[in-house]
A and B are shown apart, each in its own frame.
Chain A
């Protein structure tokens, strides 16, 4: 690649949520947080329900999104983040996420509740980070 940027695509199942160039991407995989800079080795890993941070290069702006699981694929300075649902922090309704967190706490069966809990938490954290 000639230019020294990462090309990032943040893709949800039914649309491309964000795409552009960036200097760094931070995401949480099942193995732990990874930060991807330029020249990273090709990688395909599973994401957990958590926050994805994209540090843009042209302005000091950070794109923060909450992804419900999915994949991170890195190849030749191209990063794609695939997830069934991706929400940008500015599109998250914090009150709704908090309410969801509350309902998920009291819910059974446990694994379903935990999944919803994690998703709601990821959303809230995304909003808090964006502040």
Chain B
């Protein structure tokens, strides 16, 4: 018990204000998460209709499009990492980055070089600190991404994918690493290959019984495909960004909840120690007084 009661009191006070802050952040994250989920739901119809259209095209025409073509000898892969802009979200950003490292290692083992694209300030800082090259990064929207941003990211990725092999900045594959929102309690860092497109997806795929109608394409199947596939890619990126946003908020809420709990524990502990210290002070004072009285009494007895 090295410190005085006054110092413990000060500590309790500062822990209390910290608790207030983390509590507020927890509540904010909790309210935003609902919004983020609603946004994800609102974006679902577009993705579903696009997927329908793409699978219709895939069934009725021979899909041979630059975006679906596999390079015979892939040499470079682009990886888009979706991280958060702000910290205080527990292990959110670091687990995405860990997933990225795993994917990067696998790709390197396959003999591919890696171009990194980043969303979010945390990822940017991670690469800057390690002096690792980043091709392009986008920041400032991690908790509420707009479709414009997704479209911009999509365009950049598609552009570099469509370049011929050997051209500067060409990539033969595009991967996305983001955090999938499973539930409030579990978010899972996931790596998916975005390009070349594997057209038929499990999610939102029409059931077997629902036969796709024989579409007419206007002006032509190729032109529709030309316009449709980039949109599809952008919508997939938008989907990942929305999922990542919801996951970030959920992770932040969880982190802030445990911070609040810890602060509570600390306050309890400090209050106990402070009380002990105060009690010890009182005891010491009493024993000093008693000791003084005894000494006086002894002195008087001796003098008589």
Residues on A lying within 8 angstroms of B by beta carbon are 9, 11-16, 29-31, 41-46, 69, 71, 73, 75-76, 80, 82, 84
- B212 closest partner in A (C-beta): A75
Given the complex of chains A and B, what is the CA–CA distance between A46 and B218 in angstroms?
A: 7
Between-chain CB contacts (< 8 Å), 13 pairs: A9-B45, A13-B234, A14-B43, A14-B146, A15-B42, A42-B213, A43-B215, A44-B57, A46-B219, A69-B227, A71-B53, A82-B50, A84-B151
With A13-B46, A14-B46: A46-B227 Cβ-Cβ less than 8 Å: yes
Contacting residues, chain B, for A75 (C-beta < 8 A): 56, 212-213, 215
Q: How far is the CB of A125 from chain B (nearest CB, A)?
A: 22
Asked whether, in the complex, the Cβ of B219 is within 8 Å of the Cβ of A31, the reply is yes
Listed residue (B43, B46, B52) with the most chain A CB atoms within 10 angstroms of its CB: B46
The answer to whether B39 and A42 have CB atoms under 8 Å apart is: no
Chain B, range 192-225, C-beta contacts under 8 Å to A: 212-219, 223-224
Q: Which chain A residues lie closer than 8 Å to B215 at the CB level?
A: 42-44, 73, 75
B224, A11: Cβ atoms under 8 Å?
no
Q: Which of B46, B150, B217, B223 contacts A11 (CB 8 A)?
A: B46
Choose one: B49, B150, B218; the contact of A43 (CB below 8 Å).
B218
Give the residue name and chain of the A residue nearest to B43 (CB): A14
Is A11 in contact with B45, judged by CB distance below 8 angstroms? yes
- Give per-residue flags for B34-51: 1 if the beta carbon is below 8 A from chain A beta carbons, else 0: 000001001101100110
CB distance from B43 to the nearest CB of A (A): 5
B231 adjacent to chain A (CB < 8 Å): yes
Say how far A35's CB is from chain B's closest CB, in angstroms: 14
State the Cβ distance, B155 to closest chain A Cβ, in Å: 12
Q: Which residues does chain B contribute within 8 Å of A73, judged by CB atoms?
A: 49, 52-53, 56, 215
Chain A residues with CB under 8 Å of B235's CB are: 13
B147 CB–A CB distance under 8 Å: yes
Interface residues of B, Cβ cutoff 8 Å to A = 39, 42-43, 45-46, 49-50, 52-53, 56-57, 146-147, 150-151, 212-219, 223-224, 227-228, 231, 234-235, 238
Which of B49, B50, B56 counts the most chain A CB atoms within 10 A? B49
Q: How far apart are the CA atoms of A12 and B46 in the complex, in Å?
A: 7
Report whether A76 and B45 are in contact in the complex, using a CB–CB cutoff of 8 Å. no
A11: chain B residues at CB < 8 Å are: 45-46, 49
The complex places the Cα of A9 from the Cα of B57 at a distance, in Å, of 20
Contact A16 B231 (CB under 8 A): no
Q: A11-B45, A42-B215, A46-B223 given; name 7 further pairs at CB < 8 Å.
A: A13-B151, A13-B238, A14-B147, A16-B45, A30-B219, A69-B227, A82-B49
The answer on a CB contact under 8 Å between A15 and B218 is no
One of B43, B223, B227 near A13 (C-beta < 8 A): B43
Contact A71 B224 (CB under 8 A): yes
Alpha-carbon distance A75/B213, docked complex (angstroms): 6
Contact indicator A71/B56 (Cβ below 8 Å): no
Q: Are B224 and A44 in contact (CB under 8 A)?
A: yes
For B50, list chain A residues within 8 Å (CB): 82
Chain B, residue nearest A12 (CB): B46
Contacts A14-B43, A45-B224 given: A84-B217 contact, CB under 8 Å?
A: no
* B57 neighbours in A (Cβ, 8 Å): 44
Give me the 10 closest cross-chain CB pairs, A-B, nearest first: A45-B218, A42-B213, A13-B147, A15-B42, A75-B213, A42-B215, A80-B49, A43-B216, A44-B215, A11-B46
* Distance A28 CA – B53 CA, assembled complex (angstroms): 19
A55 to B46, CA, bound (A): 22
Q: How far is the CB of B205 from chain A (nearest CB, A)?
A: 16
A16 to B39, CA, bound (A): 11
Alpha-carbon distance A14/B38, docked complex (angstroms) = 10
Closest A residue by C-beta to B226: A46
Judge whether A42 and B42 touch: CB under 8 Å: no
What residues of A have a CB within 8 angstroms of the CB of B52 in the complex?
73
Complex Cα–Cα for A41 and B214 (A): 8
